[in-house]
Chain A
Amino acid sequence: MATVTVPRATASPPRGDRRGARRLTRTAGFGLGLAMTWFSLLVLIPLAAVVVKAAGGGWTTFQSVLTDPGTLVTLRFTILTAVGVTLLNAVMGTLIAWLLVRDAFPGKRILDLVIDIPFAMPTIVAGLVLLALYGHEGPLGIDVSGTKLGVVLAIAFVTLPFVVRAVQPVLASLETDVEEAAASLGASRWTTLRRIILPSLLPAITAGASLSFARAISEYGSVVLISMNARGVEVMSTETYRYIEGGDTAAAAAVAVLLLVIALVTIIVLDVLQRRAARRG
Chain B
Amino acid sequence: MNPRTPAVALALIGALALTACSGAGAASTDSSGSVAIVGYSVLEEANQGVQKAFQQTEPGKGVVFTESYGASGDQSRAVAAGQRADEVHLSLEPDVTRLVDAGLVDADWKDNDTAGVCTDSVVVFVVRKGNPKNITTWADLIKPGVQIVTPDPASSGSAKWNLLAAYGSAAANGGDAAAQSYITSFFDNVIALPASGRQATSTFTGGKGDVLISYENEAILARQSGSDFDYVVPDSSLLIENSCALLKDHSDAAESWLAFQKSVDGQKEYAATGYRPLASVADQVGTLTVDGAMTPDDPFPTVDHLLTIDGDFGGWDAANKKFFDADNGILTKIQSEAGF
Of A7-15, A169-177, A239-247, the one touching chain B: A239-247
| Minimum-distance CB pairs A-B, first 4 | A136-B207, A245-B155, A228-B192, A246-B154
When the two chains form their complex, are residues B193 and A247 in contact, meaning their CB atoms are under 8 A apart? no
Interface centre among A146, A228, A242 (most CB of B within 10 A): A228
- Select A145's contact among B73, B154, B155, B208, beta carbons within 8 Å: B208
Q: CB within 8 Å of A: which of B186-234?
A: 190-195, 203, 206-208
Q: CB within 8 Å of B: which of A235-271?
A: 241-242, 244-248
Q: Is B65 an interface residue (CB 8 A)?
A: no
- Select B326's contact among A224, A231, A246, beta carbons within 8 Å: A246
When C-beta atoms are compared, the residue in chain B nearest to A228 turns out to be B192
Q: Is B336 an interface residue (CB 8 A)?
A: yes
Whether A229 contacts B338 in the complex (CB less than 8 A), given A137-B207, A247-B326, A248-B326, comes out as: no
Provide the residues of chain B in CB contact with A208, threshold 8 Å. Answer: none
Contact-residue bracket for chain A = 20 to 34
Q: Is A131 an interface residue (CB 8 A)?
A: yes
Q: Is B87 an interface residue (CB 8 A)?
A: no
Provide the residues of chain A in CB contact with B206, threshold 8 Å. Answer: 131, 135-137, 145
Q: Is B152 an interface residue (CB 8 A)?
A: yes
Q: How many A-B residue pairs have CB under 8 A?
A: 58
How far is B147's CA from A136's CA once the two chains are assembled, in angstroms? 14
When the two chains form their complex, are residues A229 and B192 in contact, meaning their CB atoms are under 8 A apart? yes
- Select B154's contact among A224, A228, A232, A242, beta carbons within 8 Å: A242
Binary contact readout A207-249 vs B (1 if CB under 8 angstroms, 0 otherwise): 0000000000000000010001111100000000110111110
When the two chains form their complex, are residues A228 and B339 in contact, meaning their CB atoms are under 8 A apart? no
Q: Is A70 an interface residue (CB 8 A)?
A: yes
When the two chains form their complex, are residues A146 and B152 in contact, meaning their CB atoms are under 8 A apart? no
Give min CB distance, A207 to chain B, whole Å.
30
Contact-residue bracket for chain B = 20 to 34
Give min CB distance, A125 to chain B, whole Å.
15
When the two chains form their complex, are residues B152 and A242 in contact, meaning their CB atoms are under 8 A apart? yes
When C-beta atoms are compared, the residue in chain B nearest to A146 turns out to be B192
Q: Is B241 an interface residue (CB 8 A)?
A: no
- Select A232's contact among B190, B336, B339, beta carbons within 8 Å: B339
Provide the residues of chain B in CB contact with A136, threshold 8 Å. Answer: 206-208
When the two chains form their complex, are residues B207 and A231 in contact, meaning their CB atoms are under 8 A apart? no
How far is B339's CA from A143's CA once the two chains are assembled, in angstroms? 22
When the two chains form their complex, are residues A230 and B154 in contact, meaning their CB atoms are under 8 A apart? no
Whether A228 contacts B73 in the complex (CB less than 8 A), given A245-B154, A245-B195, A246-B326, comes out as: no
Give min CB distance, B143 to chain A, whole Å.
19
Provide the residues of chain B in CB contact with A143, threshold 8 Å. Answer: 207
Give min CB distance, A198 to chain B, whole Å.
40
When the two chains form their complex, are residues A228 and B155 in contact, meaning their CB atoms are under 8 A apart? no
Task: Known A-B contacts: A136-B208, A229-B194. Give 10 more (CB < 8 A).
Answer: A145-B208, A228-B194, A230-B192, A230-B193, A232-B339, A242-B152, A245-B71, A245-B73, A245-B74, A248-B326
How far is B199's CA from A230's CA once the two chains are assembled, in angstroms? 13
